[in-house]
Amino acid sequence: MHHSEPRFSPAGDSFIEVELGNEMSFDLNVKVQALARAIREARIDGVMELVPELASMLVSYDPDRISYDDVVMEIQRIFGQQSGEGVLDMPSRLFTVPLYYFDPWTEECVADYRKTYPAKVADPELLCEANGLADRGALQRMHSGTEYWVAALGFWPGLCSLMPLDPRNRLSAPKYNPPRGWTPKGTIGVGGGLTSMYPDRTPGGYQIFARTPMPIWDKDQRLTAFNDSLALFRPGDRVRFTPIGREEYYFIEAKVNDGTYQHPMIDYQVFSVARYRDWLSDLDKE
Amino acid sequence: MLEIIKHGLETTVQELPGRIGYWEQGFPPSGPADAWSFRLANLLAGNPRDTAALEWQFIGPTLRFHRDGVIALTGAETAARLDDKSVPMWQTIPVRAGQVLACSPAKTGARGYVAISGGLATANVLGSRATFHMAGLGGLGAGALKAGQQVPLGESGATHKLMRVVDSARPPIAPAASAGTIDNRIAAMLGPNDTWLDDDSIMMFFDSEWTVSTQSNRTGLRMSGPQFTFSAQAYAKPAEHGSEPSNILDHGYPVGGISIAGQTPIIFIHDSPSAGGFFVPFTVPRFDLWRLGQARPHEKLRFRRTSMAQANEGRRRLDKLCSLQSLIEIDTVDA
């Protein structure tokens, strides 16, 4: 569901939650990103930070410079000025992320969890079962067969929430309960309907089945991709996963370690939201 | 230079207002967990109140000074010694090059502050010296400080006034036994997702005692207490919100937000994740965040329902207390 008007709720005396709907969809996320961009461009005095998420955004403000009511009024005004269609074209970088599916490190991590929780079905098999897939090969083809949309960042520096752009490749899975105590850096997992990449060794809850040697955040900014930002992705970027084997994994890892790795990325494309919607409706007709 | 002889428990460089502008990418604001004590320490040391200073948790550090100046200790109560002499808290303390300050474990409260004239001059990371320890940001490049490290200091004036904080301007950091009494209740506002709880649970939250869990740190405080019951909204939601009643579609987390993870309330503090999938029915306003920073494991907390107007008033009152008006000049330092 999309709300016809943004819904505002105070979160203490210096944050506001702005909700544009309550579903996980590309269309709603594009609206959130467009509103975030417009709020940023408006440079409202006293509005500090925005955390755009899947269907909502958190706005932080300095209550000694602007009141809750005035922030709400300004955002309502900006929302009103946006066209009903939202953005039709937006610059969108495309990253190619090398993935070693069913790698030994995530296998080890899952096995470690199952020592304490033996009833937990191993993650790849759970994903196959939950999505009606025959085997791991089918899971890999399904997961790597679509482009993904960077819908949001957050939880940890650089951690991204990815939505599959091809609806035929949607995977979903319940999250771990209780959560996992650790996850290898660079692990890829699916939780709910999202794919995520773990920027660091952290706790986690997504079902995991692959790992990338490509760093997605670097506090020391060693690689050129991090010259401008400690985190690789921005909302509105796109990601493709390329399956690699063990040998390629180590080759890339060595280049990362010696500081010569170049992130495979192209930034000369514009993503056409309008043409994407046309393509989706053609798919529906098939 | 300031030499770390013993690092205590996760002693970090902190600064205000913290790392602002990168939360969208997942970098939390960080900064002192008890900004009230932090600011008074800086003022006592002759610094602007938001200058970089040390924060320690539960076990204070041992430090050697390599230049003359003044320092101040505030926050969690510690029995501190400068060489062989015990020194008072909440006062300016002159130090000479070569002297060693040793802090004892906290007697009350959870976090102590050591400000030094001139402030700490560690490198800025994304616009701030504040430390986000879990990701190794800030300090000397790896988060919390380690024994043997030398922390660079900023420029300091040649003379320093000796000052003391008036009793009425100090944060009332409670001895554990009196925590949770009426005077110590923590302010909490409804929202952003209070409609996900039923009315009984909202009353229950403000009427109950909550115990701080040992699994608490600078990202958040976990609490245990009675069970929550949920409104229809927590059940009638699209599947992508998640299977638990307390799951919500991933959304941004406010500092001070009280989320419900299953049945466990988790209060987000300064190093909290920027977003996640639990709803947030209550939020602690800025003026009472310091109480969360001083809460100890096993301590009992209670909350009081607070309006936006009360939060605004509380914040302005606290801002005035964090000023030179709260200090009086003294002739000598007495322990």
Q: How far is residue B118's CA from residue B154's CA, in Å, rounded to a whole number?
A: 4
pLDDT at A175: 87
CB A179 within 8 A of CB A203: yes
CATH number, domain containing residue A57? 3.30.1360.40
From the list A48, A158, A193, the residue facing B25 with the nearest CB is: A158
| Pair A231, A196 in one domain | yes
pLDDT of A86 reads: 63
In terms of average pLDDT, the best of A100-114, A155-169, B176-190 is A100-114
DSSP B268: E
Q: Domains in chain A: how many in total?
A: 2
Contacts of B286 in chain A (CB under 8 A): 12-14, 63
Neighbours of A80 (CB within 10 A): 9
A45 lies within 8 A of chain B by CB? no
Residue with more model confidence, A80 or B240: A80
When CB atoms are compared, the residue of B24, B137, B283 closest to A11 is: B283
Nearest-by-CA chain A residue for B256: A12
Contact B300, B226 (CB under 8 A): no
* Listed residues A52, A85, A118: the one ending a domain: A85
Residues A105 and A18 in one domain: no
Q: Nearest-CA distance from B161 to chain A in Å? A: 31
Q: pLDDT tens string for chain B (335 positions)? A: 999 999 999 999 999 999 999 998 899 999 999 999 999 999 999 999 999 999 999 999 999 999 999 999 999 999 999 999 999 999 999 999 999 999 999 999 999 999 999 999 999 999 999 999 999 999 998 999 999 999 999 998 878 899 999 999 999 997 655 655 667 899 999 999 999 999 999 999 999 999 999 988 999 999 999 999 999 999 999 888 888 899 999 999 999 999 999 999 999 999 999 999 999 999 999 999 999 999 999 999 999 999 999 999 999 999 999 999 999 999 876 54
Chain A contact present for B58, CB below 8 A: no
Residues A160 and A274 in one domain: yes
Q: Where in chain B is the domain with CATH 2.40.100.10?
A: 176-320
Do A76 and A98 belong together in one domain?
Answer: no
- pLDDT, residue A89, reads 85
Identify the pLDDT of residue A203. 86
Single residue among A45, A67, A85 that ends a domain in this structure:
A85
Given an 8 Å threshold on Cβ–Cβ distance, is A13 in contact with B285?
yes
Shared-domain flag, residues A138 and A253 = yes
Q: Which residue of B has its CA nearest to A67?
A: B312
- Give tens-digit pLDDT for A211-246: 999 999 998 889 999 988 889 999 999 999 999 999
Question: Chain A, 46-75: which have a CB under 8 Å from a chain B CB?
Answer: 48-58, 60, 63-64, 68
Q: In A, which residues are within 8 Å of B244 by CB distance? A: 177
Reply yes or no: is the peptide bond before residue B192 cis, omega within 30 of 0: yes
Does pLDDT of A85 surpass 70?
no
Residue B307 tokens, joined:
């309006």
Select from A237, A210, A235, A233 the least CA-distant residue to A142.
A210
Q: Does A175 touch chain B (CB under 8 A)?
A: yes
Do residues A134 and A60 both lie within one domain?
no
Token pair 């009472």 is found at: B288
Any idea what the CATH number is for the domain that residue A112 is in?
2.40.100.10
**Cis check: omega of the bond before A213, within 30 degrees of 0:** no
Statement to judge: residues A59 and A123 lie in one domain? no
In terms of CA atoms, which chain B residue is nearest residue A155? B273
Pair (A69, A119) in one structural domain? no
User: Is A166 in the same domain as A256?
Assistant: yes
Residues A255, A215 contacting (CB under 8 angstroms): no
Q: Are residues A274 and A175 in the same domain?
A: yes
Q: Which domain holds residue A171?
A: 94-285
Looking at chain B, which residue has its C-alpha nearest residue A65? B312
Asked whether the beta carbons of B304 and B188 are under 8 A apart, the reply is yes
Domain shared by A63 and A101, yes or no? no
Same domain? A182 vs A65: no
pLDDT for the residue numbered B158? 77
Question: Taking a C-beta distance cutoff of 8 angstroms, is the pair B335, B306 a contact?
Answer: no
Task: Tell me the average pLDDT across A188-206.
Answer: 92
Whether the pLDDT of residue A188 is over 80: the answer is: yes
Alpha-carbon distance of A134 to B316, in angstroms, equals 62
Considering only CB atoms, which chain B residues are within 8 Å of A172? 240
Residue B258 contacts residue B246 (beta carbons within 8 Å)? no
Q: Is A9 on the interface with B (CB under 8 A)?
A: yes
First to last CA, chain B: 26
CATH homologous superfamily, domain B176-320: Cyclophilin-like (2.40.100.10)
